[in-house]
């Protein structure tokens, strides 16, 4: 259950961060390639193309990252038996 909840948290945080990075990337794209602003074309490009792509990529990446961290934490949390020394 812990792994699933952390994966959902990673999905949400990754989607938010990815959307923000997507907006930034879109604004950079508009400035570098001098996209026209006629009837709001550049704004629609940023918010209907770059932001959703960033959110999807960030959400998947965040979910995978948090899921892997949770799985590794579950593996580490297992108690190990102490090493027994053999007296000679």
Contact 42, 35 (CB under 8 A): yes
3-state helix, strand, coil split of the chain in percent (to 5) is: 80, 0, 20
pLDDT tens digits for range 34-84: 999 999 999 999 999 999 999 999 999 999 999 999 888 766 555 666 677
Rounded Cα–Cα distance for residues 65 and 14 (Å): 9
pLDDT of residue 1: 83
* Amino acid 16: pLDDT: 97
CB 11 within 8 Å of CB 21 = no
The single-letter DSSP state of residue 86 is P
């Amino acid at each position: 259950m812990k792994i699933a909840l952390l994966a959902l948290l990673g999905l949400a945080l990754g989607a938010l961060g990815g959307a923000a990075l997507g907006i930034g990337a879109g604004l950079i794209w508009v400035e570098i390639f001098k996209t026209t602003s006629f009837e709001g074309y550049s704004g629609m490009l940023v918010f209907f193309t770059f932001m959703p792509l960033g959110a999807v990529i960030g959400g998947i990446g965040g979910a995978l990252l948090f899921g892997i961290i949770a799985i590794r934490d579950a593996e580490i949390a297992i108690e190990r038996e102490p090493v027994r020394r053999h007296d000679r």
